[in-house]
A and B are shown apart, each in its own frame.
Chain A
Amino acid sequence: MNDNIPEQDLIEAAKKGDPDAFEVLVRRYEKRVYSLALRMCGNAENAQEAAQEALLSAWQGLPFFRGEAAFATWLCRLTSNACVDLLRKEKRQRAVSLDDEDLNLDLPDRGPGPHEAAERQELREAIGRGLTTLPDEYRTALVLREMQQLSYQEISDTLDVDIGTVKSRISRGRKQLRNFLTRTGNLFAAYPSKEAEKEGCK
């Protein structure tokens, strides 16, 4: 029944302090918020903390939400910020870098399956694992690009770094992820490609 309530009505009610309205919004968006946090943070524990933090920020910050951007966009922005915040705090406490962890990963060598759908699913899972091996900076930029489809400018705004840094992080992150996938047998080192003929620029 709650599914039928227009989002705008829920936002207005939640802005006035109605926790029931906000709960409906939380349940509508929990998957989106959590999955973004999971991919950005790289592990479930941090993802849960960041996602919760983002939703609580939304609750407390709702009086400031003017609706100029979509609610979903705003929430994703809060989630990205919460993840970046958490990773930054963690980094200060952490002695071992993710690069080192990468070398110690013991991952099964998965070859391509017989069916395309199965292969794709396999690749998807491998990408998930590969993302966790990337340095935080590369992973967050790449996830915002590939999962949220943000432009370089939007990523620059979200991560508060200049656009040159965004370009470099995405480029390096993608190359490292590709190396991981090639090494684990999820991408083939050489095959003829039709995709390469696609238009790259809008």
Chain B
Amino acid sequence: MKYCDEYAALLDQFIDGECTPEEAERVREHLATCEGCRIYVADAYAIRDAFPTFEDTQVPDGFADAVCAEVRADAAPRKKPRHWVKLTVSLAACVAVIAAAVQLAPLYGGGSTAASTASAAAGSAGSEENSGMQKFAAMVAPESGTAESGASSSESNEENQLMTADTAQPSQSGGTASLVPKEGADLYNTQSEAGEKRYAAWISVTKAQIGTLLDGYEGTQSVDAVSGETFTRYELSRKEFDAIVAQLQNPKVTVDDNADTELCSIAVYP
């Protein structure tokens, strides 16, 4: 016996407790006289009653071990908010080491020693923070001072290059063009033909919606090309983006499956 087409959609809302009291009353009155719909509702309850639960699922052997091994592999370079502060400090340290080395070089009879000292120092600083350095470089660039901005120039795609003594020197940083936020796109090859930066996923939210979720991250001020409104853009890895979006009410995420990047964007409007 079939349910009534007229009630087909409403019955499910009734079963799920999602209809208004008036609709519920209407359904109840109908059920009193219609066996087909009564059977449908009964079946739905039977399905709910017997629906698989997590208790009766067998997790594959070694699943947690595999996840934890990944986590431990990721543990050392794990990114944290305010990471850019450390980067700035590391770069400042590099500059200081180079300056000291250059001053000391004549005393030890040659620039090559000084250069290798500087490289070694820069290399060790780089290894502490190596993961995600490129992405943070993109975030840091517009907000940093001259020395850091020079170092986070988009000229380099290599993490290590980012931290070498050469790029830390303002005179070889490639000029001040790298201070403009747009240049970060070069790091990810994410610019569309129209010159608009592309993201794997993005979302626009208000300051009230995002609350404190982005505290500790540095955004860049941007202007909406359509409305002319000013907003702050935060660029994040996909996992960071997902972790934040999973805490938002009613998020409307746009995904670009064709974007050649894992970088995501959150635009925060006042």
The yes or no answer to B247 lying at the interface (CB within 8 A) is yes
Residues of B near A57 (CB, < 8 A) are 239, 242-243
Q: Are A52 and B24 in contact (CB under 8 A)?
A: no
The yes or no answer to A134 lying at the interface (CB within 8 A) is no
Q: Are B40 and A178 in contact (CB under 8 A)?
A: yes
Per DSSP, chain B at the interface is helix
Residues of A near B74 (CB, < 8 A) are 56, 59-60
Q: Are A191 and B39 in contact (CB under 8 A)?
A: yes
The A/B interface has a contact count, at CB < 8 Å, of: 213
Question: Given A30-B64, A200-B19, A201-B19, are A147 and B70 also a contact pair (CB < 8 Å)?
Answer: no
The yes or no answer to A168 lying at the interface (CB within 8 A) is yes
Flag B13-29 by CB within 8 Å of A: 1 or 0 each: 11111111101100110
Q: How large is the interface on B (under 10, 10 to 19, 20 to 34, 35 or more residues)?
A: 35 or more
Q: Are A157 and B244 in contact (CB under 8 A)?
A: no
The yes or no answer to B8 lying at the interface (CB within 8 A) is yes
The yes or no answer to B71 lying at the interface (CB within 8 A) is yes
Chain A residues 25-74 with CB under 8 Å of chain B are 26-27, 30-32, 34-36, 38-39, 44, 48, 51-52, 55-66, 68-69, 74
The yes or no answer to B158 lying at the interface (CB within 8 A) is no
The yes or no answer to A124 lying at the interface (CB within 8 A) is yes
Q: Are A30 and B59 in contact (CB under 8 A)?
A: yes
Q: 28 pairs across A/B with beta carbons < 8 Å?
A: A17-B78, A26-B64, A27-B64, A31-B57, A48-B63, A51-B63, A56-B67, A57-B243, A60-B240, A63-B80, A64-B213, A64-B247, A74-B246, A77-B247, A81-B242, A124-B52, A124-B56, A127-B51, A147-B53, A152-B16, A170-B16, A174-B44, A181-B47, A193-B42, A195-B42, A200-B41, A201-B14, A201-B19
Q: What 3 A-B pairs come out closest when comparing CB atoms?
A: A61-B243, A35-B57, A193-B42
Q: A174-B47, A178-B40, A201-B19 are in contact. List 12 more A-B contacts (CB 8 A).
A: A60-B240, A64-B81, A66-B247, A74-B246, A168-B9, A171-B12, A193-B41, A195-B41, A196-B39, A196-B41, A200-B28, A201-B17
